[in-house]
């Protein structure tokens, strides 16, 4: 097995270096956004690469701390009050993921409508932006030295919310704005095509260190002080290094709030992982298919270990995974090697890491948050119809109402769970309302080898049918003739349409399946791109 991986080392080692350069600032930035020690972000990056990289069946996926969990972790740590108690929630989440894999729940993402998932991610993007503004302007601690936030769950008066904007440190603010500009310019095609393996976030971090050192040398008033820099302990011995790891306080297993937090982490981390795995499998030119139940097991083991030694929750991360793919990785060696580089950097260059201004990391997170909640997401959801935008907006409004504006203080820090549940209720309510008018059926004719397979869709097809439709299409034998008939269908859920489009454009041609789409071109603007022209 080792020889199999090292056979492609010539491609994997350089790819691992690229992923390391992407992951290093993200691990530190997500720790900052989570209100956790910087060391914990690096721990989860190392565990995600080595442990999950070794156990997962995915050749390209890279796991580590995820921005999608930062808002939940920040709220949980704030609510629980102690990081070692919070680690119990990470450990509980890992154990739950292992149990989910044993129960073969790898297809659980199919039962969550994309409108609710996108609503959750959009809310997370807005929360990340709101929480990073104090670090971006240099007013992130009050007169007592306590960490301040722009929107502190509604615990303070409204006039205090704008305090960070009234105490801007010019040097910090310049670094943040310049870092954002560098990343935006670096992402332009004319630069990205020429230096595609060097991430803009790394360039922004290097620039921020350089400019601050120049300010120091010239005794400029713009110098960013140590209280606005990364702070990672440096070890002089192995024993001292081992003392940096934090063990969980196992009394947390008796706390219902911590148990509930572990449950939320397990659900959200699993959904984010499964969605990322599906995305990277679709991007993979070799069309490898990841075993989702094994992936849940790998994630569960990784989160259990991360919780035991002081790390943040881990998921498969699409940014690092896509960087791994585009850098030319061929095996798991790449993701494992990137984690080894993270470990080496923690041991050998903590002094250099401590020169990074928090404003540069805030800039990375501000752009990350913006990508999750940009205006096009809202317009696309509205365009997709009421069955999409109603659950989407319900999810967003409930999460932000609880976690950003504190409309119901007893639930602060638990907005993600409440918002997702509210979104699901809205989605089910919309479907039930539709089913009062039209019953649903999904029928695949019995057939023999060589016969044409007819799949007829009913008047309304909801996201509840997504899993069965995907399974049916995935099990159609190669060299078959298939007709999918939507001529009598009034509504097809957006998620189901995406599955049919994927089958039409990718899976059917790969299996030499002759596909006819009846009623799709006129109603849903889907034209058959495989072997047989659409039927009208």
Q: Indicate left, alpha or beta for 391 from its phi (over 0: left) and psi (-120 to 50: alpha).
A: alpha
First to last CA, the chain: 52
**CA 265 to CA 370: how far, in whole Å?**
22
Q: Which of 450, 522, 529, 96 lies closest to 304 in space, CA to CA? A: 96
**CA 391 to CA 375: how far, in whole Å?**
17
- The answer on 299 and 396 residing in a single domain is yes
Residue numbers of the domain that contains 373: 12-154+166-422
Structure tokens at 137: 């302007």
Going residue by residue through the chain, which has 536 residues, state the pLDDT in tens, using 9 for 90 and above.
Answer: 455 657 788 888 988 998 998 899 999 999 998 989 999 999 999 999 999 999 999 999 999 998 888 888 988 998 898 999 999 999 999 999 999 999 998 888 888 888 998 998 899 889 888 888 888 988 876 554 445 555 544 444 455 556 666 778 999 999 999 999 999 999 888 887 787 778 889 899 999 999 999 999 999 999 999 889 999 988 878 888 888 899 999 999 999 999 999 999 999 999 989 988 988 888 788 878 889 999 999 999 999 999 999 999 999 988 888 888 888 888 899 999 999 999 999 999 899 999 999 999 999 999 988 988 999 999 999 988 888 899 999 999 999 988 887 777 777 767 888 898 999 999 888 777 665 554 434 444 455 555 688 888 887 787 777 888 888 888 888 888 888 888 888 888 888 898 999 898 888 888 888 898 888 876 666 666 554 444 44
| 150 contacts 134 by C-beta, under 8 angstroms | yes
In the chain, the largest separation of any two C-alpha atoms, in whole Å, equals: 83
CATH number at residue 492: 3.30.750.24
- The answer on 486 and 345 residing in a single domain is no
- The answer on 92 and 125 residing in a single domain is yes
Structure tokens at 61: 């996926």
- E strands along 328-464, which residues? 442-444, 452-457, 460-461
Single residue among 388, 422, 456 that ends a domain in this structure: 422
Cα angle 122, 124, 130 (rounded to 5 degrees) comes to 110
- The answer on 472 and 417 residing in a single domain is no
- The answer on 511 and 405 residing in a single domain is no
- The answer on 368 and 331 residing in a single domain is yes
Any domain includes 536: no
pTM of the full predicted structure?
A: 0.79
Burial 493-516 (b: 16+ CB within 10 A, else e): bbbbbebbeebbeebbeeeebebb
Dihedral over alpha carbons 471, 474, 475, 476 (to 10 degrees) = 130
Positive or negative torsion for Cα 196, 207, 336, 308 = negative
**CA 45 to CA 322: how far, in whole Å?**
16
Any domain includes 310: yes
293 exposed, middle or buried (CB, 10 Å; 0-12, 13-18, 19+)?
Answer: middle
Tally of domains within the chain: 2
Positive or negative torsion for Cα 456, 458, 463, 467 = negative
């Amino acid at each position: 097995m080792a020889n199999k991986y090292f056979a492609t080392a010539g491609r994997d080692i350089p790819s691992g270096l690229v992923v390391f350069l992407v992951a290093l600032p993200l691990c530190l930035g997500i720790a900052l956004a989570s209100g956790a020690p910087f060391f914990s972000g690096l721990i989860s990056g190392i565990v995600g690469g080595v442990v999950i990289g070794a156990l997962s069946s995915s050749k390209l996926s890279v796991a580590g701390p995820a921005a999608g969990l930062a808002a939940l972790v920040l709220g949980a740590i704030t609510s629980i009050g102690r990081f070692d108690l919070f680690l119990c929630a990470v450990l509980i989440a890992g154990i739950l993921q292992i149990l989910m894999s044993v129960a073969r729940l790898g297809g659980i993402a199919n039962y969550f409508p994309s409108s609710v998932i996108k609503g959750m991610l959009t809310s997370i993007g807005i929360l990340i932006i709101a929480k990073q503004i104090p670090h971006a302007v240099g007013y992130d601690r009050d007169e007592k030295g306590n960490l301040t936030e722009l929107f502190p769950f509604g615990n303070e008066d409204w006039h205090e919310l704008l305090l960070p904007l009234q105490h801007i440190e010019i040097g910090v603010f310049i670094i943040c704005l310049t870092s954002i500009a560098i990343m935006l310019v670096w992402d332009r095609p004319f630069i990205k095509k020429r230096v595609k393996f060097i991430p803009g976030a790394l360039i922004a971090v290097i620039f921020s260190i350089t400019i601050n050192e120049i300010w120091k040398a010239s005794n400029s008033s713009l110098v960013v002080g140590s209280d606005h820099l990364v702070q990672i302990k440096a070890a002089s011995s192995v024993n001292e290094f081992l003392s940096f790891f934090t063990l969980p306080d196992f009394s947390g297993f008796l706390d219902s709030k911590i148990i509930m937090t572990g449950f939320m982490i397990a659900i959200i981390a699993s959904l984010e992982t499964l969605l990322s795995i599906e995305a990277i499998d679709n991007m993979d030119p070799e069309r490898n298919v990841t075993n989702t139940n094994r992936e849940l097991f790998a994630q569960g083991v990784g989160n259990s270990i991360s919780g035991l030694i002081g790390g943040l929750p881990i998921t498969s991360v699409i940014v690092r995974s896509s960087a791994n793919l585009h850098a030319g990785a061929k095996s798991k060696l790449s993701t494992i090697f990137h984690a080894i580089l993270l470990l080496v950097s923690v041991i050998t260059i903590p002094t250099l890491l401590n020169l990074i201004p928090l404003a540069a990391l805030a800039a990375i997170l501000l752009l990350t948050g913006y990508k999750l909640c940009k205006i096009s997401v809202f317009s696309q959801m509205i365009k997709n119809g009421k069955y999409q935008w109603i659950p989407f907006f319900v999810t967003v409004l409930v999460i932000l109402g609880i976690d950003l504006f504190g409309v119901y203080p007893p639930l602060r820090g638990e907005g993600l769970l409440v918002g997702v549940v509210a979104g699901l209720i809205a989605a089910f309510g919309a479907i039930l309302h539709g089913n009062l008018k039209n019953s649903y059926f999904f029928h695949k004719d019995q057939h023999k080898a060589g016969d044409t397979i007819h799949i007829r869709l009913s008047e309304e097809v909801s996201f509840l049918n997504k899993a069965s439709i995907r399974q049916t299409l995935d099990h159609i034998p190669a060299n078959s003739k298939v007709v999918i008939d939507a001529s009598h269908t009034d509504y097809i859920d957006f998620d189901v349409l995406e599955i049919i489009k994927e089958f039409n454009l990718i899976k059917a041609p790969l299996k030499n399946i002759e596909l006819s789409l009846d009623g799709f071109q006129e109603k849903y603007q889907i034209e058959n791109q495989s072997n047989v022209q659409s039927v009208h």
